[in-house]
Amino acid sequence: MPRFLGIDTSNYTTSVSVVDGGKVALNLKSPLKVREGQLGLRQSDAVFAHVSNLPTLMERLDASDSVKNYSAVGCAARPRDAESSYMPCFLAGVAAAHSAAAALGVPVFDFSHQAGHIAAAVWSSGGELFDCDRFLAFHVSGGTTELLLCDGHDFGCEIIGGTKDLNAGQAIDRIGVMMGLDFPCGPALEKLADDYLSALKIGKKPRNKPEISVDGTECNLSGLENIAARMKRNGEPDGKTALFAIDFIRDTLDRMTENALRQYPGLPLLYAGGVMSNRRIRGYFETKYNALFAEPEYSSDNAAGIALLTSRKWDKLNDKR
């Protein structure tokens, strides 16, 4: 049975994945280390970290995969499917994938990191959007806050909305670092909010009604950072600020979703990216829209989608023969 290897070297995670029989058999990740108090990595540091991580990760793959037989290799070669889309960190994965494919004597396929994210989310959510003509997908992370019109056949993604300034994950990380949390800050910020809610008196509910900034399917999120900084200066509990930040992002995405569905009524909804693994945000959209979500492991950066896309492309090429 054909098996496929995927490699993704995003700005914060080195990852490899194996797809066997159309299912993800292995999904290995190694996060890049960010120094305390820093908001991210320079591209040169990310490339160096990937080059350092890849040998160890490939050794883990060798130890975990007893079959070691691949029909094709895929990699994330660019952030998104656009002519000018480029980030140096992906060069490490491209080099590893092309070298592995040459050594194995098998084809290598290049995809975008974003298409991989969407493919992983589709598979993780049950696979019902594979080969769907059109669906709406929100890709919300530290590097991206975009609304996409997607094709479930070849996973082409057209940007039809998104942020005009800060990404949602950027806002979360900046607010978290301001509170002294370690980068990336999403899980710790979520815990602060959960603890604050748990500490409230029974029956008392937070009155978070943020003044969001949404114009059609586009939004502004920089105001959230300013409000959070003001709350910090005014001595508000960090948990209250964390909850406000999460609700601000949730309400912003909710308004964008409402506006998108007016333009594209009846299309399925998918949410992907690290921010969308937040339980408070996810629960709201699952209830209101019956939306599809990636499981947390496949919502953050991973190579599973790249391996799945490699499998699908190999199948199509061989079906034509």
CA distance 245 to 57: 35
CA distance 31 to 53: 9
User: What pLDDT does 45 receive?
Assistant: 93
Residues with Cβ < 8 Å from 45, sequence gap 6 or more?
none
- Strands (DSSP E) contained in the chain are 3-9, 13-20, 23-31, 72-78, 108-112, 135-140, 145-150, 157-163, 213-215, 218-220, 269-272, 292-293
234 lies in the same domain as 302: no
CA distance 61 to 267: 38
Position 186 in a domain: yes
Buried b (16+ CB within 10 A) or exposed e, 271-292: bbbbbbbbeebbebbeeebebb
CA distance 287 to 39: 33
User: What pLDDT does 206 receive?
Assistant: 64
69 lies in the same domain as 186: no
User: What pLDDT does 207 receive?
Assistant: 65
Position 15 in a domain: yes
Strands 213-215 and 157-163, how do they pair? unpaired
CA distance 260 to 251: 14
CA distance 54 to 48: 10
Q: Taking the model in full, what pTM does it have? A: 0.89
Q: Residue 170 belongs to a domain with what CATH number?
A: 3.30.420.40
312 lies in the same domain as 268: no
Number of domains in the chain: 2
User: What pLDDT does 106 receive?
Assistant: 98
Cα R_g (the chain), whole angstroms: 20
180 lies in the same domain as 69: no
User: What pLDDT does 160 receive?
Assistant: 97
306 lies in the same domain as 267: no
Rounding to the nearest 10 degrees, give the CA dihedral for residues 140, 57, 80, 292. Answer: -40
Question: In angstroms, how far apart are the furthest CA atoms of the chain?
Answer: 68
User: What pLDDT does 236 receive?
Assistant: 95
User: What pLDDT does 321 receive?
Assistant: 52
304 lies in the same domain as 279: no
Provide the domain limits for residue 102.
3-125+298-319
CA distance 69 to 229: 53
Chain mean position to CA 89: 16
178 lies in the same domain as 236: yes
Among 295, 309, 284, 261, CA closest to 111? 309
Residues 271, 44 contacting (CB under 8 angstroms): no
Kindly state the tokens that stand for 143: 């590097």
User: What pLDDT does 248 receive?
Assistant: 96
Phi, psi dihedral angles at 299 (to 5 degrees): -95, -40
Give whole-number Cα distances, 60 to 11, 53, 270, 277, in Å. Answer: 21, 11, 32, 26
Position 134 in a domain: no
Among 301, 258, 282, CA closest to 136? 258
Position 52 in a domain: yes
250 lies in the same domain as 168: yes
13 lies in the same domain as 109: yes
CA distance 17 to 182: 27
11 lies in the same domain as 102: yes
Position 109 in a domain: yes
pLDDT in tens, the chain (321 residues): 899 999 999 988 999 999 999 999 999 999 998 887 777 789 999 999 999 999 999 999 999 998 889 999 999 999 988 888 999 999 999 999 999 999 999 999 999 999 999 999 999 999 999 999 999 999 998 888 999 999 999 888 999 999 999 999 999 999 999 999 998 899 999 999 999 998 886 556 666 677 899 999 999 999 999 999 999 999 999 999 999 999 999 999 999 999 999 999 999 999 988 899 899 999 999 999 999 998 888 988 899 999 999 999 999 999 855
User: What pLDDT does 142 receive?
Assistant: 85
210 lies in the same domain as 277: yes
Residues with Cβ < 8 Å from 4, sequence gap 6 or more?
18, 19, 20, 70, 71, 72, 73, 74, 307, 310, 311, 314
Among 224, 247, 209, CA closest to 167? 224
Position 39 in a domain: yes
User: What pLDDT does 20 receive?
Assistant: 96
Beta bridge partners of 7: 16, 75
